[in-house]
Structure 1
């Protein structure tokens, strides 16, 4: 009987929860030459939704900040902190982590330029900078020179040939590297996997960190999901450590969650100030419009909202970096959502240790008193809310 119950729990978990690392655009496939490796990356949950899809598109500096953080944390076992890092044109958590940990730099004008594409030679510099920041050995044997060596910039030569010697980068055929060609997301993912396979095995129990970028403005990648024994303090896509689809944790059972006042942008552009909503317990629902279990949870919330809005302030938190604004607006209209929907760039979900979607939690007097991962039925949601009003 215990085995049957365990099996049912697994089924419920799969049906009611979408791990962040599994959300990606439907119907998008990598190129044939990249598919097997990318399938391995997704199966191992090495990267989250931001790197799942658009595989043939140019890879941006934002994308590489993420990949770099993942690599660094996995190799070193250290978690990247945001610290006091800032950029005038980006407040994304992985970009700031990458800067604070020496993985990326900005340009002379202080900007990061997160949407800017990077070249193949910058890609090589990125990975070598990451490994250097992680204090890994970069020794190689005799260097084999590319036929288009004269096209490789002086500031990138050492990194390009070190990356080649380590087996991280390859040519494009006929001993050519095409250093000025634009790198794609799937090319970067294949190189990312080579780095993980070569270096992370030495520290399998450790999390991932970031790649550094050269002072010439090379790009880095951002962190990804990593299996650990407890939820991380950053938003790294991983399953809940209890192994159950949902759970309510009593006050004091959620380490490292600090509830502080914050402001955010709402869907539509209005400002949201958390301090204005703390007069009552606050229900936060983390979701995206592209996640079916999230939509099911919105239905449950809609069914109880009128009965519980006097006791609770409801707030929807959309993981904006994983979502489409048009689809989000359609979802809000479809489910007749009248409570605030704030757009999270990663900082809020990181602070609240959101590792899967949907996640619903209750904050009372600056403390998280309940935390539920997965979709709830209307009755389950009523029980969840009744315990704390």
Structure 2
């Protein structure tokens, strides 16, 4: 692909230096459809990024777009705070009937604000209120958001440093396989909980990702998650699963924890819950935990009604049966085979993932960044993850076609080979 240097002057002179993704993809995007984006010069890019997981059903999904346009054209409520609206009612009914009841999940639904970190803040706040304790346990290489409470349970040193204040009342523990399998699961954690001289204040809750996306595609084994759930129950701690990036079908099932057969006390959901990339998040919790006073946790943009509309359309279109789940699991086999082949040709590399989230860790941490840049030149968007950016991260839309997936994987392989 021959790229003409676009005019980026307004972005580089007026927009803050905090911008990040645009530095990796130096072009001006103009439109998008399905699994592809197009810049203003007409260049086409396959998308293995999917809005950081907020576009599981692709860009401008036609069914969701039609539902949104119909709603707007009839002057449906757009800003509703937490008022009762027809759009919210439809979402709640569909979510209960298609997602919660079939999985025997008893959760109440809270709309805490438009972003994932809003949901995490609400979950932490609720857990502390319910248990009357301050400490929350998180895990090495975790990422839970950029607001202060979420940063406190995030592992990345660079992101934590941006807080500018002490991040307190949290304690990190080793994530699954953090010690390379040399230490029994939860040995350190259990000892600290049992030893009154350990210095660990009794935690209110434990927050965990079943797959650490930003942390490097670190996949927790089902038995590890079950062990964590038992530990929480034994020691009167609430279990919070952050399903913001890995939920909404990313791993196959709607919730990423379903494979492990656990029922968390609290679940945070965002990113693809709206189905259309619109801001929306949920905090789900057992009914007995609903101890909020009216207005105790508030937010102007909790009632993004256009997001309710597209979320309902997504549930009705993709979760009335298991076709999307089966397609995701089939695509997973294709991705795994491609990464297995790639890893076999690069000493010291490793691949891991589930469903439609995969990572290729390369021996030289700089190699992943070079590969991502080369992929962009070849017409593919993908990012890196991990504490050192050492993992090539693949996050295609769940609705990608088989041909598009094959094309994208060939570009990934070529980019890795050419930048070794």
TM-score using structure 1 length: 0.25
TM-score for the superposition, normalised by structure 2 = 0.24
